[in-house]
Amino acid sequence: MDEPDAAAAQDRTGATPSGDGGRSVGAPETDDISRLVLQCAAPFFLKGLGGLAHLSGGDRLTALLTLAILEANVRHVVRDPVLALRHARFDSPPPDEMRRPVNVRALAESLSLPYDAARRRVAALEAAGVCVRTAKGVYIPNSALTTEANHQALIDGYQAMETLAADLSGVAPDFDLTGGAPCAADPPPMGAERLAVRVGVEYVLRFAERLAAIAGDVGQGLVLLAILHHNYAPVFSEPALARRHGGLSDPPPDDLLAPISVLALAKTLGQPFETTRRQVNRLIRGRRCVRIPGGVIVSAQAMRTALARRALLAHVGDVQRAYGALARLGLTFGGNTTPSAPDD
């Protein structure tokens, strides 16, 4: 039987969770654009998980587990600047013997998933040859990561990082994308897709943890995010409304939100209707969303809870932390960044 792994409960950036609900270093003290940042980031998160179908079979929870295994396997590589740059290119992944296995119970706990659900999905990954089981846990071998499909996924992930940076710059030109992190003087090796995507994976997993904290588990968190993104679409398509409701303190009123049906939600997430219906009903019982004519919405009242407000603010810091980590390695994506200090 797998035993809990204390390292998996540690903050994925190497720091222990903060006492203010998880707000990252670098998160703004003002509430100017936290809701705008979330709206920009939702497609990055949801489409990114869908882009892992070649590894996960199209199931987004399996995709998250796959990312969690990958992140745990190479966490020490990402945090070592020399190793991170050495293995930044698609054709230079860390060898299998460098990958650190992670046990399934730790994976389940890190994503707030029932152990049996995680165990079944990992077993399916193992049967498909996507992961390898050892006495210490599971890891994803290079044979699953050096395929043409995975190369395309890395390219897509890199482009998604570029798109998110451009979207944030477009809606908030003064937003400091890197949270004040200095940019390295020298750029990383050409074709550093793997470097960017590794940091992006850490960000996605932090995002998943925050969704799980709000919704009760990560599966319901995915549903909640998809509802919220659809609800907010008409609000943030209007610049005046986006400015008025883009911050923490003034969520859009319910009459401005676009409801989404359970059927449309199931299609958006690529999951069975009955699964989606059960998840929506649990969210309604938990007062995370409400049913109105035309579908479901995440009400303004639900977004005014202390938990939701902390998560929104912390998410801004998560975005800055990810782009800041890349800037320190010499990889920037435009937007408002901080140049490194000149040498004396």
Name the token pair of 341: 């200090």
- pLDDT tens, position by position, 220-263: 999 999 999 999 999 999 989 998 999 988 999 999 999 999 99
| Whether this model's pTM surpasses 0.75 | yes
- pLDDT tens, position by position, 101-137: 999 999 999 888 889 999 999 999 999 999 999 999 9
Does residue 217 register a pLDDT over 60? Answer: yes
Percentage of residues in the chain having pLDDT higher than 90: 53
One-letter amino acid of 66: T
How far is 314 from 319, CA to CA, in rounded Å? 9
- pLDDT tens, position by position, 284-304: 999 999 999 999 999 999 999
Does residue 61 register a pLDDT over 80? Answer: yes
pLDDT at 16: 30
Does residue 93 register a pLDDT over 80? Answer: yes
- pLDDT tens, position by position, 161-209: 999 999 999 888 889 999 998 888 777 766 677 788 888 989 999 999 9
Instruction: Say whether 97 sits in a helix, a strand or coil.
Output: helix
**Domain-by-domain residue ranges, the chain?**
25-214+306-328
Does residue 11 register a pLDDT over 80? Answer: no
pLDDT at 296: 98
Task: From residue 124, give the alpha-carbon distance in Å to each of 74, 117, 131, 132.
Answer: 22, 11, 9, 11
One-letter amino acid of 304: R
Q: What average pLDDT does the chain have?
A: 84
Long-range own/partner contacts, residues 230-236 (CB < 8 A, 24 or more apart): 230/258, 230/260, 230/264, 230/265, 230/268, 231/257, 231/258, 231/259, 231/260, 231/297, 231/298, 232/35, 232/39, 232/257, 232/258, 233/258, 234/258, 236/36, 236/39, 236/171
Q: Which residue has the tokens 């399916």?
A: 124
pLDDT at 84: 83
